[in-house]
């Protein structure tokens, strides 16, 4: 079985011929002057980025904390609503990295899938599947688990061995086992391409969200060599700053569009 999230993502990979996932991470101090002083500037900035990049992407990934830290959750709601109304074939991944149990996890799932109407959400499985199951109850939605993250100190926990296997590989194995509805994906950072390959070997055609290209120094060709699935697809290669802040001038939408298109073309040339 495949969730509607996976089906929509798979269709989008083919239709757009793109593995690019654009992260929408607005920061007040980085917004172009032409928009920074306007009311609802985060929504207007995100909307302009979406309109400019829609033709080049497989998904959009708004980052929850960037909106919530400034009390702009309503602008995040409006942005996701805009994407779903204007570009209904492009999945929206809410990057929230939730991780808790019991009624709190239930409410986090409700927040992601009912309040924000996201198609998928990132979840931290550190508490085990008690923290994941409430999200899986929404059988049409995607649940993308942190597995092998791109930050340097991740090895402290993720490389630790448990029963003869590193923790991130155990997460991948358990994710495959529990992926009965085709809902689960994994976050696997570009900065550890060989480990990305180990994860791909375990999960086969499961979607992998790959941060770390660009500012964090991940090698695109190494990601493609290790991460593509059997159909030369299966990746959401995430880029945020290099695309949304490609220009600080009034031409920021055009610059973002060019950056997204260039990344898509570079990926397609090498896969």
Give the mean pLDDT of 219-241.
96
Residues facing 95 on adjacent strands: 63
User: Residue with structure tokens 């997204």?
Assistant: 260
Read off the pLDDT band of 215 (50, 70, 90). Answer: low
**pLDDT for residue 131:** 97
Residue 2: pLDDT over 90: no
Point out the least confidently predicted range of 133-137, 159-163, 256-260.
Answer: 159-163
The whole-number average pLDDT for the span 113-133 is 97
- Matching CATH number, 4-270, of 3.20.20.70, 3.40.50.720, 3.40.50.2000, 3.40.50.280: 3.20.20.70
Q: What does the pLDDT average to over 56-77?
A: 98
Residue 240 sits at φ, ψ, to 5 deg, of -120, -75
The residue from 84, 97, 176, 266 that is catalytic is 97
Q: What are the residue ranges spanned by the domains of the chain?
A: 4-270
Q: Is the pTM of this model over 0.85?
A: yes
pLDDT above 80: residue 39: yes
Average of per-residue pLDDT across 83-102: 97
97 is catalytic: yes
């Amino acid at each position: 079985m495949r969730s509607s999230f996976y089906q929509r993502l798979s269709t989008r990979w083919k239709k757009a011929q793109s593995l690019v996932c654009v992260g929408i991470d607005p920061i007040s101090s980085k917004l172009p002057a032409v928009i920074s002083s306007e009311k609802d500037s985060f929504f207007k900035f995100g909307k302009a980025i979406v309109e400019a990049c829609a033709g080049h992407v497989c998904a959009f990934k708004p980052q929850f904390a960037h909106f919530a830290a400034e009390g702009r959750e309503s602008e995040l709601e409006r942005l996701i609503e805009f994407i779903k109304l204007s570009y209904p074939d492009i999945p929206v991944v809410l990057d929230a990295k939730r991780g808790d149990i019991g009624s709190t996890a239930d409410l986090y799932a409700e927040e992601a899938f009912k309040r924000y109407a996201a198609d998928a959400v990132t979840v931290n499985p550190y508490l085990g599947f008690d923290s994941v199951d409430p999200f899986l109850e929404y059988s049409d939605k995607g649940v993308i688990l942190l597995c092998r993250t791109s930050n340097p100190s991740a090895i402290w926990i993720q490389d630790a061995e448990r029963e003869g296997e590193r923790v991130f590989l155990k997460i991948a194995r358990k994710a495959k086992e529990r992926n009965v509805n085709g809902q689960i994906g994994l976050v696997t950072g570009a900065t550890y391409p060989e480990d990305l390959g180990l994860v791909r070997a375990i999960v086969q055609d499961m979607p992998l969200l790959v941060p770390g290209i660009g500012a964090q120094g991940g090698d695109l060709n190494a990601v493609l060599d290790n991460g593509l699935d059997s159909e030369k697809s299966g990746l959401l290669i995430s880029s945020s700053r290099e695309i949304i802040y490609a220009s600080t001038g009034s031409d920021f939408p055009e610059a973002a569009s060019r950056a997204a298109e260039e990344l898509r073309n570079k990926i397609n040339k090498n896969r």
